[in-house]
């Protein structure tokens, strides 16, 4: 079940690729979204869960929608500066760069050739037998076609399905009780 929440605080505007800037390029306005799930009694710590996901993000990806392929960097854990190609259903793929990696999360930023400008951050926080999983995005359409698909609601539906699936799969991977709802803040 999805529910709406308050507006999330934005991710930073810095982009790793000066040829692909939100400020100068793209269509429409920048959109901030936060998807959140609460997991009760996880068997994995937040740090361990992020380590497993960063070693292979495909473990939580909806196979019918997207796959992650590292194009620059060593196999295994995501590291800052590495590049990943996100192969997506539809007429586009999404090249990204790992711009931040810490014990409880990582951030990917779109690079030249991506249908969107912006970033996505996956993070986990755990304490007292509970864990909060979050996926936060900062995005803007890079092309007119993608902007049209966004205005028609197709992009929102696909992203909501994708991020909700990834949070549910991460909760299952953590070994806790599945989330009763996924909160979406826009």
How far is residue 184 from each of residues 7, 110, 147, measured CA to CA in Å?
A: 9, 22, 21
Low-confidence ranges of the chain (pLDDT < 50): 2, 5-8, 15-17, 19-20
Task: Tell me what pLDDT residue 2 has.
Answer: 46
Q: Are the C-beta atoms of 7 and 32 separated by less than 8 Å?
A: yes
Distance in angstroms (rounded) separating the CA atoms of residues 24 and 10: 18
155, 15, 64, 59: CA torsion to nearest 10: -140
Q: Where along the chain do its domains lie?
A: 17-185
User: Is the distance from CB of 87 to CB of 93 less than 8 angstroms?
Assistant: yes
Count Cα atoms within 13 angstroms, Cβ side, for 157: 5
Q: Which residue has the tokens 């473990």?
A: 59
Q: For residue 176, give the 3-state DSSP assignment.
A: coil
Q: Which fold has domain 17-185?
A: Alpha-D-Glucose-1,6-Bisphosphate; Chain A, domain 4 (3.30.530)
State the pTM of this model: 0.86
Query: What per-residue confidence (pLDDT) applies to 53?
Result: 98
Tell me how crowded residue 158 is: count the other CB atoms within 10 A of its CB.
17
Asked if residue 152 lies in contact with residue 6, where contact means CB atoms within 8 angstroms, the answer is no
């Amino acid at each position: 079940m999805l529910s709406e929440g308050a507006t999330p605080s934005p991710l930073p505007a810095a982009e790793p690729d000066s040829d692909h800037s939100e400020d100068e390029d793209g269509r429409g306005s920048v959109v901030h979204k936060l998807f959140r799930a609460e997991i009760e009694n996880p068997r994995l710590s937040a740090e361990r869960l992020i380590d497993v996901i960063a070693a292979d993000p495909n473990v939580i990806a909806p196979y019918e929608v997207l796959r992650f392929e590292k194009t620059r960097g060593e196999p295994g854990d995501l590291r800052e500066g590495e590049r990943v190609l996100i192969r997506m259903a539809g007429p586009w793929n999404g090249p990204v760069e790992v711009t931040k990696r810490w014990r409880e999360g990582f951030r990917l930023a779109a690079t030249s050739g991506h249908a969107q400008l912006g970033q996505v951050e996956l993070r986990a926080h755990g304490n007292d037998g509970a864990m909060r999983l979050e996926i936060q995005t900062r995005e803007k359409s890079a092309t007119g076609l993608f902007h049209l698909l966004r205005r028609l609601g197709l992009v929102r539906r696909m992203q909501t399905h994708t991020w909700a699936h990834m949070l549910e799969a991460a909760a299952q991977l953590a070994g806790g009780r599945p989330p009763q709802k996924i909160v979406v803040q826009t």
